[in-house]
Amino acid sequence: MISLASLDLIALAFGAFNLLRLASYFPQIVAVARDQHGATAQDGLVGANASTALYAWAKLADTSLAIVSAFNAVCCLVVVVLAAYRRILATIRVGDPPNQ
Protein backbone atom coordinates (compact mmCIF):
# COMPACT_ATOMS: atom_id res chain seq x y z
CA MET A 1 0.00 0.00 0.00
CA ILE A 2 1.18 3.52 -0.77
CA SER A 3 1.71 5.73 2.26
CA LEU A 4 0.85 9.40 2.55
CA ALA A 5 4.57 10.26 2.42
CA SER A 6 4.88 8.34 -0.86
CA LEU A 7 1.95 10.26 -2.30
CA ASP A 8 3.61 13.54 -1.33
CA LEU A 9 6.82 12.47 -3.09
CA ILE A 10 4.85 11.42 -6.17
CA ALA A 11 3.05 14.76 -6.24
CA LEU A 12 6.35 16.60 -5.79
CA ALA A 13 7.94 14.63 -8.64
CA PHE A 14 4.92 15.26 -10.86
CA GLY A 15 5.08 18.99 -10.18
CA ALA A 16 8.85 19.22 -10.64
CA PHE A 17 8.91 17.32 -13.91
CA ASN A 18 5.98 19.30 -15.28
CA LEU A 19 7.76 22.55 -14.46
CA LEU A 20 10.80 21.25 -16.35
CA ARG A 21 8.61 20.23 -19.27
CA LEU A 22 6.88 23.62 -19.35
CA ALA A 23 10.26 25.37 -19.25
CA SER A 24 11.47 23.26 -22.18
CA TYR A 25 8.75 24.47 -24.55
CA PHE A 26 10.16 27.98 -25.03
CA PRO A 27 13.56 26.82 -26.37
CA GLN A 28 11.78 24.31 -28.64
CA ILE A 29 9.51 27.01 -30.03
CA VAL A 30 12.48 29.35 -30.59
CA ALA A 31 14.49 26.59 -32.32
CA VAL A 32 11.61 25.72 -34.65
CA ALA A 33 10.97 29.39 -35.42
CA ARG A 34 14.64 29.92 -36.33
CA ASP A 35 15.04 26.73 -38.40
CA GLN A 36 15.45 27.72 -42.07
CA HIS A 37 14.82 24.24 -43.47
CA GLY A 38 11.73 23.15 -41.59
CA ALA A 39 11.70 21.12 -38.42
CA THR A 40 10.53 17.68 -37.46
CA ALA A 41 7.45 17.85 -35.26
CA GLN A 42 6.18 15.31 -32.80
CA ASP A 43 2.46 15.90 -33.04
CA GLY A 44 1.59 12.78 -31.03
CA LEU A 45 2.34 14.79 -27.90
CA VAL A 46 -0.53 17.14 -28.72
CA GLY A 47 -3.01 14.26 -28.65
CA ALA A 48 -1.48 12.69 -25.56
CA ASN A 49 -1.60 15.92 -23.57
CA ALA A 50 -5.05 16.90 -24.84
CA SER A 51 -6.53 13.50 -23.99
CA THR A 52 -4.91 13.62 -20.54
CA ALA A 53 -6.49 17.04 -19.99
CA LEU A 54 -9.91 15.79 -21.05
CA TYR A 55 -9.62 12.65 -18.93
CA ALA A 56 -8.49 14.61 -15.88
CA TRP A 57 -11.35 17.06 -16.28
CA ALA A 58 -14.18 14.69 -17.24
CA LYS A 59 -13.30 11.51 -15.33
CA LEU A 60 -11.13 12.58 -12.43
CA ALA A 61 -12.56 16.05 -11.81
CA ASP A 62 -8.95 17.16 -11.33
CA THR A 63 -8.90 20.75 -12.52
CA SER A 64 -5.20 21.28 -11.80
CA LEU A 65 -4.11 18.28 -13.85
CA ALA A 66 -6.53 19.26 -16.61
CA ILE A 67 -5.11 22.79 -16.79
CA VAL A 68 -1.47 21.65 -16.79
CA SER A 69 -2.16 19.03 -19.47
CA ALA A 70 -4.15 21.50 -21.58
CA PHE A 71 -1.30 24.01 -21.40
CA ASN A 72 1.14 21.26 -22.41
CA ALA A 73 -1.11 20.41 -25.37
CA VAL A 74 -1.23 24.05 -26.46
CA CYS A 75 2.56 24.38 -26.26
CA CYS A 76 3.02 21.18 -28.28
CA LEU A 77 0.52 22.47 -30.81
CA VAL A 78 2.50 25.70 -31.16
CA VAL A 79 5.64 23.65 -31.88
CA VAL A 80 3.78 21.53 -34.47
CA VAL A 81 2.22 24.55 -36.21
CA LEU A 82 5.52 26.45 -36.31
CA ALA A 83 7.32 23.38 -37.67
CA ALA A 84 4.70 22.94 -40.40
CA TYR A 85 4.89 26.64 -41.27
CA ARG A 86 8.70 26.53 -41.46
CA ARG A 87 8.57 23.42 -43.67
CA ILE A 88 6.16 25.15 -46.02
CA LEU A 89 8.42 28.21 -46.17
CA ALA A 90 11.47 26.02 -46.82
CA THR A 91 9.65 24.21 -49.63
CA ILE A 92 8.53 27.48 -51.23
CA ARG A 93 12.08 28.90 -51.03
CA VAL A 94 13.51 25.88 -52.80
CA GLY A 95 10.87 26.19 -55.48
CA ASP A 96 9.42 22.72 -55.07
CA PRO A 97 5.65 22.41 -55.07
CA PRO A 98 4.22 21.31 -51.71
CA ASN A 99 3.54 17.59 -51.36
CA GLN A 100 -0.04 16.68 -52.25
Question: How far is the C-alpha of 92 from the C-alpha of 89, rounded, in Å?
Answer: 5
Structural Rg of the chain based on CA atoms: 18
Distance CA 6, CA 9 (A): 5
Q: What is the pLDDT of residue 51?
A: 92
Going from N- to C-terminal start, the domains of the chain cover 4-94
Q: Can you give the three-state secondary structure of 83-94, one letter per residue? A: HHHHHHHHHHHH
pLDDT digits (tens, 9 = 90+) for 26-80: 887 887 778 766 555 456 788 889 999 999 999 999 999 999 999 999 998 988 8
Predicted model pTM: 0.69
| 73 vs 29: CA distance, rounded Å | 13
HSE of 23 in the Cβ direction (CA atoms, 13 Å)? 6
